[in-house]
Amino acid sequence: MSCCAGGTTVNAAASTDVPSRDAVLHSSQKLDDGRIRTVLAVPDIHCGGCIRKVEGALSALRELEEPRVNLSTKRVVFHWKEDDIDAVPVFAALRRVGYEPNLISPDAIVVDDTRKSLFRALAVAGFAAGNIMLLSVSVWSGADAATRDLFHWISALIAIPTVGYAGRVFFRPALRALAARSLNMDVPISLAILLATGMSIFETWNHGAHAYFDASVTLLFFLLIGRTLDHMMRERARDAVAGLARITPDGATVIGEDGSRHWHPLDEVEAGMCLHIAAGDRIPVDATVREGKSDIDAAIATGESVPITAQEGTTLSAGMLNLTGPLVVEAAKAAKDSFLSEMLRMLDAAEGGAPAYRKLADRAAAVYAPVVHLAALFTFLGWIWVTGDWRQSLFSAIAVLIITCPCALGLAVPIVQVVAASRLFRKGIMLRDGTALEKLAQVDHVVFDKTGTLTVGMPRLQDAGKHGSRVLGIAAALGTNSRHPYSQALAQAAGENNIRPVVGLTDVREIPGEGIEGTLDGERYFLGRSAAGGNGVELRRGDDVLDLFRFEDRMRANASETISALEQQDIACEILSGDNGETVAQAAQALGMTDWRGDLRPADKIARVQALQSMGHKVLMVGDGLNDTPSLAAADVSMVPSKAADIGRQAAGLVFLHEGLDAVTSAVTVAHRAQALIRQNFALAVLYNIIAIPLAVLGYASPLVAALAMSGSSIVVILNALRLNEAASTPFSSIGAWLTRRGARRASGNARHGKHGVATL
Amino acid sequence: MNVLLFLIPTALFLGALGLAAFLWSLKSGQYSDLDGAAWRALNDDEDDKPL
């Protein structure tokens, strides 16, 4: 199956590590029947073929039971037959079929109960709405006296428990808002539902002609649809983000006094402990190297893509990746005091300092709710003044509240956000929060990090065409055996130039911190650090230097197009980088950007973002490194590539999965369009109220009018939101296009039949 | 009008049956992987027993 191509690219060198038994146990659940249930994230699962391959590979293992892939969350669940847990065969089996499994943290396994309870509420409300509506139709068509009373009582028996059960979704946030002395959309919604039900019970009790049970339950049903869609959107984004590889290790292998090795959860690691770090593992806590030599990818901490060499005495920060050789390190700090945690503290502080933002729907509610409540009050006073009949007056006032219930308004925002999120999802952009979309539409200043954001963060061979194919073939063959980014860049360059790595290399050995060597046709070849010093990587045969390879960090696809597109929309762009000024200047020049700053520490980045905000700019921060994380939180809205540090992904409003930087412009465009549709939906809701309120004030809002008006306005709002999916960029042009197509079709049909087009139009 | 006395309970009972069936299917996890279910329908050699 073609979409499974990604599954075959797992690099042999990157997949030798398997979590220890304790690490697996730590992120597994013990079930009531004593079996142990393990969940693995397998981000490469894409399609039905992947399901078969993964489940097939795991079913073949005797120690497992019931392997089951969940394609939506890209996870696989299985149970162990015995207590004897060994992850080696499981990981090996998955890698053999081309999938790289990841352990997920215990708190990510917890099943989402909100979704289920929303679905249950939706089902109950749907059932009740359908049945009550059927009973109401008979009342509208003229059932009277005892029959009408019977129908009203049956409706009441269905409606009361439904409102009590399904209405909690709105009552709870409404109460919370009132307790905080503010108004959100849930307050008028709850009020309308409760009043409609209450008044209907009173009417039914007194054998009245009008009961609004249908209105209150249909209202609940429509609003629950909006709420459920909204929740599913955020859940989908969260799952997809949580499924990606984690940066922070869950624990570390501690070497005891007697040389024994035991895996400990991260919070049990203390300063002074000796830790074993295998090649390919992340450094769990800030530490100093005691033994061994290796290359360390420090990009997560410094933003630099070129690995540093670690040897005895080198200080390492938590989160860095050990690339080539095993290390023994001494923990310098406990996990809670380490670099990662320090970043988290800065992140919290920055989040607290970020500009307060009130959701658009809540801002609308703050205007809308008082207007509606005042309208109801004046209706009551007006009727008292004119007729003096308090019962008629109260009914008219309540009818105003019911009919103005922000059904359309409550749907207007979430439905557009859901459609926008699914549109972004198809472009590989995950919206983590609906408010990010609202804030994105106001952005007028974009701040980019350099390494890993504007650039790919992976070195690439310079002038690949200039090297001989034999030389590159040998280098690539050696390179496939190493995890060092330069080695992998060489292997990749050979592949792109259709050069096959030579076969027959034997006795391959990685010399951590130096390079890699192997024997071919009786001669010793070495690929690695240049003996004469300097940048780049050398290929030597014996002592003869065969070639020197130089590397550059490549720009992300569409980087300069994105920058110029943003600047055309009057959105200013600048680079904030931790890299040295000269490199940053080169990158800025390549992209045609004039505004850049280099040599920045995390605190400097926050300061710059906050300075821009104090000048009144709305700032979008695009970054990836751990050093960017606090400024991601400080910005109004932020976007990160999916390879970013996991706490960065937690802090960001949007995550983009593909390499191209045009994700930024796509997101901004969709945000603008969504905002326009939300405004249109608000306008439609206001228009509806201009028509409906006078009817209710004058006492014409019968249950039939209320039901028609509410359903009608909700459907109009939903249909309007769906226009976001169309390619059309201007409002109403889609309707125009539809009319044109329709006209054209008719015209051509008429032409075929030899009629005059005008006659039938 | 006597016909209502058993028609309405019948209608409500059937509706409630549908609701119960949906709640049961939700509880037994049939909605936990909608994307996967779409693909599994095309899979010949798999039993279609829910988990």
Q: What's the pLDDT tens digit per position in A268-286?
A: 888 888 888 887 788 888 8
Question: CB count, 10 Å around CB of A351?
Answer: 13
Per-residue confidence at A748, pLDDT binned at 50, 70, 90?
A: very low
Helix ranges, A141-212 (H)? 145-166, 168-179, 186-205
The CA distance from A29 to A98, in Å, is 26
Q: Is A449 a catalytic residue?
A: yes
Chain B, nearest residue to A48 by Cα: B39
| pLDDT value, residue A760 | 32
Amino acid at A316: L
pLDDT at residue A155 in the model: 93
What is the interface pTM, i.e. ipTM, of the complex? 0.82
Average pLDDT over residues A727-738: 47
What is the C-alpha to C-alpha distance for residues A135 and A144, in angstroms, rounded to an integer?
Answer: 12
Rounded Cα–Cα distance for residues A90 and A9 (Å): 19
DSSP secondary structure string, A549-568?
E-EEEEEPTTHHHHHHHHHH
**Cβ separation B19–A52 shorter than 8 A:** no
Percent of chain A scored above 90 by pLDDT?
Answer: 9
> Would you state the pLDDT for residue A469?
81
Per-residue pLDDT at A121:
94
- A570 shares a domain with A448: yes
Asked if A123 reaches chain B (Cβ–Cβ under 8 Å), the answer is yes
The answer to whether the CB atoms of B26 and A123 lie below 8 A apart is yes
A625 in Cβ contact with A318 (< 8 Å): no
Rounded to an integer, what distance in angstroms lies between the CA atom of residue A600 and that of residue A732?
A: 47
Does A667 fall in a domain? no
| Residue A585 structure tokens | 């200047």
User: Which one of B15, B39, B42 has the shortest CB-CB distance to A71?
Assistant: B39
Q: Specify the amino acid at residue A113.
A: D
Q: Does residue A439 form part of some domain?
A: yes
Q: How far apart are CA A661 and CA A556, in angstroms?
A: 6
Q: What is the pLDDT of residue A733?
A: 45
How far does the CA of residue B36 sit from the closest CA of chain A (Å)? 5
Q: Which residue has the tokens 């087009």?
A: A757
Q: Which residues contact A319 (CB under 8 A, 6 or more apart)?
A: A247, A248, A282, A283, A300, A301, A339, A340, A626, A645
Asked if residue A231 and residue A120 are part of one domain, the reply reads yes
Tell me the CA distances in angstroms from A439 to A40, A337, A570, A602, one per residue in order: 35, 34, 16, 23
Question: Which residue from B minimizes the CA distance to A71?
Answer: B36
Contacts of B11 in chain A (CB under 8 A): 131, 134
CA pseudo-torsion sign A426, A429, A434, A440: negative
Residue A761 scores a pLDDT above 50: no
Give the pLDDT of residue A634: 86
Find the residue in A nearest to B40 (Cα): A48
Task: Give me the residues paired with residue A429 across strands.
Answer: A656
Q: Are residues A501 and A582 in the same domain?
A: no
pLDDT higher for A304 or A61? A61
pLDDT at A236 over 90: no
Smallest Cβ–Cβ distance between A52 and the set B16, B34, B43 belongs to B43
**Residue A427 is encoded by which pair of tokens?**
């472009």
pLDDT of residue B19: 92
Mark which of A549, A582, A614 sits at the end of a domain: A549
Average pLDDT over residues A187-195: 84
Across the interface, which of B11, B26, B40 has its CB nearest the CB of A119?
B26
Q: Measure the CA–CA gap between A546 and A472, rounded to whole angstroms.
A: 10
Phi, psi of A48 (to 5 degrees): -60, -35
| Residue A160, pLDDT score | 94
| Cβ pairs A/B, distance under 8 A | 54
pLDDT per residue over A15-54, tens digit each? 456 777 777 777 777 777 778 888 887 877 878 888 888 8
Amino acid making up residue A171: F
Q: A229: which 2 tokens?
A: 């869609």
- Domain end point (choices A52, A82, A110): A110
Do A132 and A143 have their domain in common? Answer: yes
Q: Is residue A724 part of a domain?
A: no
Residue A319's SS3 state is coil
- State which of A476-480, A527-531, A709-713 shows the largest mean pLDDT: A476-480
* One domain for residues A572 and A613: yes
- Assess whether A651 and A582 both reside in one domain: yes
pLDDT at A417 over 50: yes
Q: Helix (H, G, I), strand (E, B), or coil: what is residue A18?
A: coil
Q: What pLDDT shows up at residue B1?
A: 64
Residue A313 predicted with pLDDT over 50: yes
User: For residue range A554-565, what is the model confidence (pLDDT) as tens digits?
Assistant: 788 888 889 999
Q: Say yes or no: A441 and A565 in one domain.
A: yes
Residue B17 confidence (pLDDT): 94
Q: What is the CATH number of the domain that holds A15?
A: 3.30.70.100
Spell out the residues 6+ positions from residue A160 whose beta carbon is closer than 8 angstroms to its own: A197, A201
Q: By 3-state DSSP, what share of chain A in percent is helix, strand and coil, each rounded to 5?
A: 55, 15, 30
Query: Closest Cα of chain B to A135: distance in Å?
Result: 9
Same domain, A740 and A625: no
Residue A245 has pLDDT above 50, yes or no: no
pLDDT digits (tens, 9 = 90+) for A361-407: 777 777 877 888 888 889 999 999 998 888 788 888 888 887 777 66
pLDDT digits (tens, 9 = 90+) for A130-167: 999 888 888 888 877 788 888 899 999 999 999 999 99
Q: Does residue A566 sit in the same domain as residue A636? A: yes
The better pLDDT of the pair B24, A645 is held by: B24
Place of tokens 């007006």: A382
Q: How confident is the model at residue A542 (pLDDT cuts 50, 70, 90)?
A: confident
Backbone angles phi, psi at A538, to 5 degrees: -110, 145
Nearest to A116 among B11, B26, B42 (CB): B26
Question: Same domain, yes or no, for A502 and A634?
Answer: no
Q: What per-residue confidence (pLDDT) applies to A621?
A: 92
- Alpha carbon separation from A158 to A124, A125, A130 (Å, rounded): 10, 10, 11
Looking at per-residue pLDDT, the higher value among A107 and A181 belongs to: A181
Average pLDDT over chain B, rounded to an integer: 81
Q: For the segment A429-487, what is each residue's pLDDT rounded down to a tens digit? A: 888 777 888 889 889 999 998 877 888 877 788 777 777 788 888 888 888 888 788 88
Phi-psi region of A233 (alpha: psi -120 to 50; beta: other; left: phi over 0): alpha
For residue A518, pLDDT over 60 is answered with: yes
Structurally, chain A folds into a number of domains equal to 6
Separation CA A130–CA A152 (nearest Å): 15
A174 and A206 both lie in a single domain: yes
Q: Is residue A393 part of a domain?
A: yes
Compute the distance between CA of residue A233 and CA of residue A430 in angstroms, rounded to an integer.
9
Assess A72–B contact: CB distance below 8 Å, yes or no: yes
Q: Which of A549, A573, A602 is the last residue of a domain?
A: A549
The yes-or-no verdict on residue A175 having pLDDT over 60 is: yes
Instruction: Give the pLDDT of residue A667.
Output: 92
Question: Token digits for A616?
Answer: 């009144």
Mean pLDDT of chain A: 79
Instruction: Read off the pLDDT of residues A606-624 as tens digits, 9 standing for 90 and up.
Output: 889 999 999 989 999 998 8
Whether residue A334 lies inside any domain: the answer is yes
Contacts of B27 in chain A (CB under 8 A): 116
Residue A51 with chain B: CB contacts under 8 Å: 36, 39-40, 43
In a domain, A673, yes or no: no
d(Cα A350, Cα A57) in Å, to the nearest integer?
46
Mean pLDDT of A178-202: 84
Which residue in A449, A553, A636, A662 is the catalytic one?
A: A449
Task: Tell if the CB–CB gap between B19 and A127 is shorter than 8 Å.
Answer: yes
Range of the domain at A626: 429-456+556-657
A725 in a domain, yes or no? no
Higher-confidence position of A228 and A745 = A228
Residue A168 domain-assigned?
yes
Q: Are residues A263 and A344 in the same domain?
A: yes
CATH number of the domain where residue A286 is located = 2.70.150.10
Amino acid at A588: A
Nearest to A123 among B4, B22, B36 (CB): B22
Q: A45 CA to chain B: closest CA distance, Å?
A: 10
Distance from C-alpha of A88 to C-alpha of A19, rounded to nearest angstrom: 8
Strands A327-331 and A596-597: unpaired
